[in-house]
Amino acid sequence: MKKKILRYLKHIIGTILSLIIIGIIVIVAMNGTFDYNHNDNGLNLDKEGPYVFFKSDSIYTVDYIRGNKEAGFYLESNNYQINEPANINCYFPLDHTNFDINFNSNIEIPKSTYNDGEAILAISDIESGYKTFRDYLINNKVINENLKWTFGKGHLVLVGDFVDRGMSTTQVIWFIYKLEQEASEQGGHVHFIIGNHELYNLQGKYKSASYKYSGVASILGKQQHNLYDNNSFIGKWLVSKNTIEIINGNLFTHGGIHPNIVDYDITLDDINRISRENYRKPWFPKPEDSAEQLILSSKIGLSWYRGYFDDELTQEEIDRTLKKFNAKAVIVGHTPQWTVKSLYNNKVFAIDVKHPKDYRDNWPSKKSEGLLIMDDNYIRLLNNQKTFELKTK
């Protein structure tokens, strides 16, 4: 009897272990992770902010959340005249650091085309990971330890999905804004390309947002969609951004470019204009063919397309698309990869990697990567400054 029980237990244990091993293999093969060791500081709302809203055509307000759930929450608010600059601050509770922001309520629409021969560093899909984003830029000399821009006239290209799936969305967005201002003062550029998760928030879809921001909106006396509406500075600022840009001959867009775009007489300026006009309108796939479908659709639009990774395209289709826009290559995020990689004879570069998270650890552990482009050399740039050449002259 004992032998039967032991044999039975062995079978059960063996089956469980086999299922665990298979599960691990599947998760790793799908570039997934296990989360553990969650840090509760992510829910610390004291000093959360700033949240900037327009009260009228002449006044804007800067709000910070203060307090805690035991003692209660309240708002610290200041009013400013439109075009009056404000020195504001953003606090990061994980390591109790902060950064200052020289804020101005003016918003300018960026160009679609840049051609100056300067270095480019592209990174994507940070997904609300402020610490990861900050440390990657420090380690690779884009900013210094004091968080000041040190990349000169270079281009930092953020290829979408910098929000959602984390508790540092506020810090990430304001950090991008801060760097944008500082880069401009030195002749450099920060390019914030709109991804599908930015679109989610602009369109009031919060399935991927941390539940923290529902509480934030409530304390502010607003609905969650108000955090990104036209009365919010961040909402208006995001709507000004482009869906696609060409920088020194390289196209940058979050998802990809459907090859049928070559059938339409349309420029990058046209594409970005159409995108901005529709950022707040959910655009579901439609049966008829149109240029708008290829720009906006939640299946094949620029912020959503995954055709480079589904074995759908030929090299000829890739080359034809690049020729239309007089481009050397296209750089995309959106579709997770193990590493930054080159596809289609160095004509497509995929840079969406799994980055570390601010308030939890992951197994297998992840390290950030980006794509450095200098003098037509395309280089995989790791978090520790280690480089791997993907394409050289």
Residue 125 structure tokens: 């899909």
pLDDT at 219: 97
Q: Which CATH architecture has domain 113-391?
A: 4-Layer Sandwich (3.60)
Question: What is the mean pLDDT of the segment spanning 270-282?
Answer: 97
Question: What is the mean pLDDT of the segment spanning 39-64?
Answer: 95
Residue 137 has pLDDT above 50, yes or no: yes
Residues in the chain: 393
Mean pLDDT in the chain? 92
Residue 300 has pLDDT above 50, yes or no: yes
d(CA 360, CA 210): 13
Residue 27 has pLDDT above 60, yes or no: no
Using alpha carbons, select from 209, 220, 169 the residue that is nearest to residue 67.
Answer: 220
pLDDT at 176: 98
d(CA 265, CA 271): 11
Residue 330 has pLDDT above 90, yes or no: yes
| Neighbour order of strands in the sheet with 113-114 | 113-114, 244-247, 250-253, 329-332, 348-350, 341-343
pLDDT grade for 227, boundaries at 50, 70 and 90: very high
pLDDT at 284: 87
3-state secondary structure of 52: strand
Using alpha carbons, select from 378, 374, 308, 305 the residue that is nearest to residue 340.
Answer: 378
Question: What is the mean pLDDT of the segment spanning 59-63?
Answer: 97
The predicted-structure confidence for 161-172, as pLDDT tens digits, reads as follows 999 999 999 999
Q: What backbone phi and psi angles, to 5 degrees, belong to 242?
A: -95, 160
Is 137 in contact with 267 (CB distance < 8 Å)?
Answer: no
Question: What is the mean pLDDT of the segment spanning 227-235?
Answer: 97
d(CA 324, CA 344): 17
pLDDT at 26: 46
- Of 6-15, 203-212, 276-285, where does mean pLDDT reach its minimum? 6-15
pLDDT at 102: 93
Peptide bond into 364 cis (omega under 30): yes
pLDDT grade for 288, boundaries at 50, 70 and 90: confident
Question: What is the mean pLDDT of the segment spanning 110-124?
Answer: 98
Percent of the chain with pLDDT over 90: 83
Q: What backbone phi and psi angles, to 5 degrees, belong to 186?
A: -105, 5
- The alpha-helical segments, DSSP class H, found in the chain are 2-29, 130-139, 169-185, 196-202, 212-219, 233-239, 268-278, 291-296, 315-324
pLDDT at 270: 98
Q: 284: which DSSP letter?
A: -
Residue, of 39 and 321, whose pLDDT is higher: 321
3-state secondary structure of 126: coil
Residue 48 has pLDDT above 90, yes or no: yes
Is 131 in contact with 94 (CB distance < 8 Å)?
Answer: yes
Per-residue burial over 215-249, b if 16 or more Cβ lie within 10 Å, else e, is bbbebbebebbbbbbeebbbbbbbbebbbbbbbbb
Residue 187 structure tokens: 């002749």
pLDDT at 241: 98
Q: 109: which DSSP letter?
A: P
Kindly give the pairing relationship between strand 250-253 and strand 244-247: antiparallel
Quick count: other Cβ atoms within 10 Å of Cβ 306? 14
d(CA 56, CA 71): 32
